[in-house]
Structure 1
Amino acid sequence: MKIIDQLEWRYATKAFDPEKLLPKEKVATVLQAFNLTATSYGLQPIKLVVVSDKALQATLVDYSMNQKQIAQASHVLVFCIETNVDKAFVAEYFERVHKIRHTDKQILKPFKDFLVDDFENKTQQAIEAWATNQAYLALGNIMTVCALEAIDACPMEGFEPEQYDQLLNLKEKGLKSVLLLPIGYRAANDMFSNFKKVRRPLTDSVIIY
């Protein structure tokens, strides 16, 4: 039941202790968890930008609805989507499959051709919406890992993506920011850490046939 205990422990941290930084080993675990997140077709149309420069974090507060956690956190994780999910992107994935699993390219070709055709017929808006869904999967996965590692976190949608993209030079990297997750350790005076969780009864949130 440790995982349930830790999920009870976690909350959307409203104040971080700016003096307490995450050790490198903890950060490495979080990054590995991101990379191991399941994504549609295994294509990983997402990247994670890690911000730990305190001056930059302070600047980003202005573009994060003035949420102070951005400046206080040990690290700010910026979840980004790839904007160029095209034939070359798909081909790169199948090259990786071939290299790692040694699967014959002729066996991979039908699925590869299907995905190339599928994405070529999608609008850019549809591709970005699909990629954003994958970012949410990664966010949920990392939040669970953070709970298990006793790392505090606060998921955020309220920010100005265009400003983040500009400050972090994301457009030049073919990326767009879609979600934020400041992580670190809760401040001792964050009263929200002692609030009881408000959830529907399990019988109201789960239907079993």
Structure 2
Amino acid sequence: MSLKTGLEWRYATKKFDNTKKIPADKLEHLLQTVKLAPSSFGLQHYEIVVVEDPAVRERLKEASYGQSQLTDASQVIVFAVETNIDEDYVKAYIDEMASARGVKREDLSGFEQYVLGSVSRLSREENINWAKKQAYIALGVLISSASELQIDSCPMEGFEADKYDEILGLKEKGLTATVMATIGYRSDEDPYANMAKVRKSDKDLFIRI
């Protein structure tokens, strides 16, 4: 399935079939695709929590205003952003880059200083907001990749982030929940599945200069 066809097929699934699970190989393919999502400087300012435990998902449902997707979907994917993007974080990334590319670390010093300068100019809150923007890029990749695999998804912001942080133990990891998506397979009873997709017309959406 092409990406365009997949995006035409997908919708924000409101009711999942709780008897259907994503096969392990497809889930791994999906996660590896999201791993390749672009991020500013390649820093990957987040971690991705894959939640399958039923008891944990029940608690997340309570922190999500009772939305049934949390317990009916195959998995819950939480994007948790780094709250301490600092010199140590950047240096660890440069270490990884040197190793992955087989280059001397000192050869990356110019790039390292550039990234450190960008990070140091921002307040802690600004760095977190920057990280959140990167997480949304990864969310977009998740939704797009899922559509190609004909895996349903529902991006969701309707949850209490502080409770997610507590339930998932994120704060002690230097993370905070930002956005999530439930993934799985739509129920035949979901009335939204066959609704026409509503988008702006080309003339109202595209500005060509």
TM above 0.5, one fold? yes
- Counterpart in the other structure of 1:8: 8
Deviation of 1:38 (Å): 0.3
**Aligned pairs (5 A) from 1:66-77:** 66-77=66-77
- Counterpart in the other structure of 2:142: 142
Distance 1:105 1:146 in 2: 37
- Counterpart in the other structure of 1:107: 107
Gap runs ≥5 in structure 1: none
Distance 2:45 2:10 in 1: 28
Alpha carbons 2:59, 2:167 under 8 Å: kept: no
**Aligned pairs (5 A) from 1:132-171:** 132-171=132-171
Gap runs ≥5 in structure 2: none
**Aligned pairs (5 A) from 1:18-29:** 18-29=18-29
**Aligned pairs (5 A) from 1:14-93:** 14-93=14-93
Distance 1:173 1:97 in 2: 22
- Counterpart in the other structure of 1:198: 198
- Counterpart in the other structure of 1:183: 183
Deviation of 1:76 (Å): 0.1
Q: Amino acid of the residue matched to residue 106 of structure 2?
A: Q
- Counterpart in the other structure of 2:128: 128
Q: Cα deviations across residues 54-98 of structure 1 (Å, max 9, x unaligned)? A: 122122111112211111111000001011111111011111111
Deviation of 1:191 (Å): 1.0
Deviation of 1:200 (Å): 1.0
TM-score by length of 1: 0.96
**CA RMSD of the aligned region, Å?**
1.2
Distance 2:7 2:175 in 1: 31
* Deviation >6 Å, runs of 4+: none
Deviation of 1:114 (Å): 2.1
3-state DSSP of counterpart to 2:122: coil
Distance 1:136 1:8 in 2: 20
Q: Amino acid of the residue matched to residue 147 of structure 1?
A: S
Q: Percent identity?
A: 39
Q: Amino acid of the residue matched to residue 9 of structure 2?
A: W
